[in-house]
Structure 1
Amino acid sequence: MGLLFAKLWSLFCNQEHKVIIVGLDNAGKTTILYQFLMNEVVHTSPTIGSNVEEIVVKNTHFLMWDIGGQESLRSSWNTYYSNTEFIILVVDSIDRERLSITKEELYRMLAHEDLRKAAVLIFANKQDMKGCMTAAEISKYLTLSSIKDHPWHIQSCCALTGEGLCQGLEWMTSRIGVR
């Protein structure tokens, strides 16, 4: 009986969870993905299309789709939405001028039928930069407190050092099975 339970448990635990990583161009999406994967900074160039990698955290498998954030690519984001459990929205904490665009894109995604059950992790990236907005400022600007139909969490981070990224992943793992 114990062996059967262990086998069933391992099947349950090794389930893959689809994650999309979105945000405007130059927010740090790809840097975050490869920081998760290799725990190091890799030289990146603008993502055309997507990168996909599997990240394993405490027996939890996340299939992470890093989607290009250039304006010309944002209209195709919805082709990645099917079966998505988590949205990671990466915000450039220095880029005050484009925060309104980030907000528009966030609420467009949250209104999409394929994402109605998705939880949202917002990474307030580039916290190491002088004059950056805090996570609280970004949260207020994006009116995150008005989001009632999606679990969400905002996390300060620095993609280059990895600071804050583990806390974001821990929040995601804590959401699995909670619905």
Structure 2
Amino acid sequence: MLSVDIEMRRSFKKYQDDGPINIRSAFYGGRTGPLKLFHRAEPGQKISYFDVTSLYPFINVSTIYPIGHPEVHILNKDVNWTKPSDNIYNLGILKLFVIPPSNIDVPVLPMKIGEDQDERLLFPLCSTCAKEHPHGDVKENYSCPHSDYQRGWVSTCTSIELNEALNEGYIVTKLFRVLEF
């Protein structure tokens, strides 16, 4: 029905999904993108670039893995997490509502925008602006007019990613579910 009825699909997109965790929604492809397109080197200044082909083998060797069956927590509660110590789940996958900081150079948490064939992985500072301009845009003197709630989104992420996001100024306002290992 959703594939046929466009209006119904739009209304479901506005719904805040507090249902079960889909573990696959916590997995994203790699991140690519230059942070600076041009730099004029000063005399004697060295410039370089990094080409990281894959961190997957390094992560396999150097980090902890979840083992066994997770404990499922169905919470659906309001929280105000602003720092990693607020997150009591050391190793888990969390489904939550997150608000990004309004000004950060390299955003931490991604979201997917678009339909099946044209789905894009973005790292936005405002989900509403990202949905309004899914292919990007250049605007002189741009200022996001949206509220914190309009800027945020439901994210499924690992506790490790969440802690890094909290270190960078993200705020968690709602905790839906947790798979704790």
Verify same fold: TM over 0.5: no
TM-score, length of structure 1 as denominator length = 0.24
Higher relative contact order (CA 8 A, sep 6+): 2
Structure with greater proportional helix content? 1
